[in-house]
Amino acid sequence: MATDAPPPSKTEPHLPTSEEFTEVQQSAEFGQLRRSYRSFAFPLTVAFIVWYLLYVLLSNYAGDFMGTKLFGNVNVALVLGLAQFLTTFLIAWWYARHAAERLDPKAEAIKSRMEGGA
């Protein structure tokens, strides 16, 4: 025997207005979130670009140094090239940790307030 019960209602999040977005964007809490992101991301980005350009410049202008054998057929260029990959993965891991600990909780608090209509 079928029942005519209505389907369970879905609670839809509050859709913020453009004024609410502007208000949150100008809030001190959002400014702190943005500063926390920028103070981590910008210095690491600059450092990595400098590190990468150093590798490129050494490869172009210091061929003798880059060709220096360290052991067997492994030279400085290979070690520094592999260090580029290692550095990339370390920065990604470090950023993921930073975001999970410092950025995500603040962003989630702002999001839940906006979706809750508070």
CB 19 within 8 A of CB 117: no
Q: For residues 108 and 94, what is the distance between their CA atoms, to the nearest angstrom? A: 20
> Model's pTM, two decimal places?
0.74
Helices (H), the chain: 18-25, 28-61, 63-66, 76-98, 104-116
Residue 8 domain flag:
no
Residue 5 domain flag:
no
Residue 46 domain flag:
yes
Per-residue pLDDT of the chain (118 residues; tens, 9 = 90+): 555 655 555 566 678 788 888 888 898 999 999 999 999 999 999 999 999 999 999 999 999 999 999 999 999 999 999 999 999 999 999 999 999 999 999 999 988 888 875 5
pLDDT at position 15 is: 80
Residue 2 domain flag:
no
Residue 1 domain flag:
no
* Residue range of the domain that includes 91: 18-116
pLDDT at position 117 is: 55
Residue 6 domain flag:
no
Residue 68 domain flag:
yes
Provide the domain count of the chain: 1
Please list, residue by residue across 14-24, b when 16 or more beta carbons sit within 10 angstroms of its beta carbon and e when fewer do.
Answer: eebeeeeeeee
Q: For residues 24 and 30, what is the distance between their CA atoms, to the nearest angstrom? A: 6
Strand-pairing partners, residue 56, are none
Residue 72 domain flag:
yes
